[in-house]
A = this chain, B = another copy of it.
Amino acid sequence: MEADLLYQRVAQHYRSAIRSGLMPAGERMPSVRSLTRLHQVSLSTALQACRRLEDEGLLEARPRSGYFVRPPRRTSIAPAAEPDVRRAPDPAQFVGIHDRVSAFVATGELQPVSFDFGATYAEPGIYPGEALKAAAIRVLRRQPELLVRPVSPAGELALRTAIARRALDGGLHLSPDEITITHGCIEALNVALRAVAQPGDVVAVESPTYFGLLQVLESLGLRALEIPTSPHTGLSIEALELAFETQPGIKAVVASPDFQNPLGCVMPDADKARLVALCERRRVPLIEDDTYGMLGDDDTPLKPLKAWDTTGNVIRCVSLRKTVAPGLRLGWVSGGRLHARIQMLKYAQSRANEALGQLTMAEFLGSSAYDRHVARLRRQIKHQRERVAEAIAAWFPPGTRLSLPRGGMLLWVELPPGCGAHALFEAGMRYGIRTVPGTLFSNTHRYDHFLRISCGYTVTHETEQALRLLGGLCTAK
């Protein structure tokens, strides 16, 4: 039998023992050495099995004493509630989202942050820093004039080709010519929106949605029409249909179907197909924000909205930052039938990106190190997500609601009645615990008792204690 089947067999043995309750929480696992005897496997196979169960949150390692069964997740936490899809949407121009975000950022800068549950990327150590650094140095050595030679207006072909190849996995056939490299997903969203809407126009967005999108809308003078969005299945197609019927002049729809920020939800394939068809029928461009789509627990890649697009009505905006390199400002846009206009807007706005970052990213995307990195990243954030969710379930007051997403690093926590998110955010900050209050994710006050808690950072005993403290601050109020 092959080595990796062997370790899986061992892991499965104890997994079912733990799940069935045969091995209760706190029980000591047989030592790695005894596992080799019991299961006739090598030391490394035995260790691999234990590590796997640790990754899955079933075991925990205690220094110098071996592995122990972890306390089970409190399953009593209620899942997030579904929105009322029949509520009448109200197009509102953001006035003040900048101020709100600035105030939020400023608070974070005034106080030292010890526990950052506000970040939307994993901790730097998880990313392939060494490999990217080495690639950058190789690129510079190979092309010593890179920093003094004018950039190519179309962006680096090597990167566009690597992206097109990788997109095949998600069921997307794009040629490198249909891809324009941008300064992150945020620039992609900017040019996409500028291509389809004028100041004063209405754009339909998910509710709640990423505050960065709301800032872009405000800065472009666009009005956000917030469409009810399920914490489990994403944007409500029903509610969007209703909006099209009752609100004339919607100029675009922006949706983030996979591991939406802040909900963490994933739109089912059937809904993705319906959404693409609906926007096409209405002739309203559909802007897809894919920032976290690669971060699913599952190995099967999620199909982007663009994969259902047959007419070029979908504008796909992607970030490479959360998956590969938070320090490189790289994203891309594929604009369908509006691609030429989008490309022109990108050129007029900031010209092409620098070559160095693009070529560095191209090297990494083109190598198998990328696959290994993504697999590791997924496992790690899944593990962290589960441990943070457990801590919330264990320590937040009764009435707290939360659904565990199947990927990404964001948890959207509904606080019990009477507990305001902004107050809790501020209280947490006094202890160096940063979260993001729900107030930032909507123009309405609908999410004033929600908190976004990210789990990009390694979860230690101290992390759990910080969440315990935060839960306590919540009750105290």
A133 part of interface (Cβ distance < 8 Å): yes
Dominant SS among interface residues on chain A:
helix
Q: Which residue of B190, B218, B348, B351 contacts A329 across the interface (Cβ within 8 Å)? A: B351
Stretch at the interface among A4-12, A78-86, A147-155: A147-155
Does B351 lie within 8 Å of A190, measured CB to CB? Answer: no
Stretch at the interface among A40-48, A180-188, A289-297, A461-469: A180-188
Beta-carbon nearest neighbor of A357 in chain B: B354
Q: Mark interface residues in A140-152 (1 if CB within 8 Å of B CB, else 0).
A: 1100111111110
- Chain B residues lying within 8 Å of A141, measured Cβ to Cβ, are 133
Complex Cα gap A347–B184 (Å)? 12
Give the number of chain A interface residues (Cβ < 8 Å): 60
A245 part of interface (Cβ distance < 8 Å): no
Does B360 lie within 8 Å of A147, measured CB to CB? Answer: yes
Does A147 lie within 8 Å of B121, measured CB to CB? Answer: no
Residues 169-190 of A contacting B (Cβ, < 8 Å): 182-184, 186-187, 190
Q: Mark interface residues in A214-234 (1 if CB within 8 Å of B CB, else 0).
A: 011011010000000000000
Given contact pairs A186-B351, A349-B349, A146 touches B121 in the complex (Cβ within 8 A): no
Stretch at the interface among A123-131, A396-404, A415-423, A428-436: A123-131
Given contact pairs A199-B198, A328-B354, A128 touches B140 in the complex (Cβ within 8 A): no
Does B326 lie within 8 Å of A187, measured CB to CB? Answer: no
A236 part of interface (Cβ distance < 8 Å): no
A92 part of interface (Cβ distance < 8 Å): no
Beta-carbon nearest neighbor of A329 in chain B: B354
Does B186 lie within 8 Å of A349, measured CB to CB? Answer: yes
Find the residue from A130, A199, A219, A360 having the highest chain B CB count within 10 A: A219
Complex Cα gap A128–B215 (Å)? 39
Q: Which residue of B125, B199, B215, B354 contacts A348 across the interface (Cβ within 8 Å)? A: B215
Complex Cα gap A214–B98 (Å)? 29
Q: Smallest distance from the beta carbon of A238 to chain B beta carbons, Å? A: 31
Does A326 lie within 8 Å of B140, measured CB to CB? Answer: no
Does B350 lie within 8 Å of A350, measured CB to CB? Answer: yes
Given contact pairs A133-B140, A344-B98, A354-B357, A327 touches B183 in the complex (Cβ within 8 A): no
Does B151 lie within 8 Å of A132, measured CB to CB? Answer: no
Q: Smallest distance from the beta carbon of A413 to chain B beta carbons, Å? A: 23
Does B132 lie within 8 Å of A219, measured CB to CB? Answer: no
A192 part of interface (Cβ distance < 8 Å): no
Binding site for B on A (CB under 8 A): 98, 102, 105, 119, 121, 124-125, 127-130, 132-133, 136-137, 140-141, 144-151, 153, 182-184, 186-187, 190, 194, 198-199, 212, 215-216, 218-219, 221, 325-329, 344-345, 347-357, 360
In order of increasing CB-CB distance, the 8 nearest A-B pairs are A127-B148, A183-B350, A219-B348, A129-B148, A147-B327, A132-B147, A187-B350, A150-B326
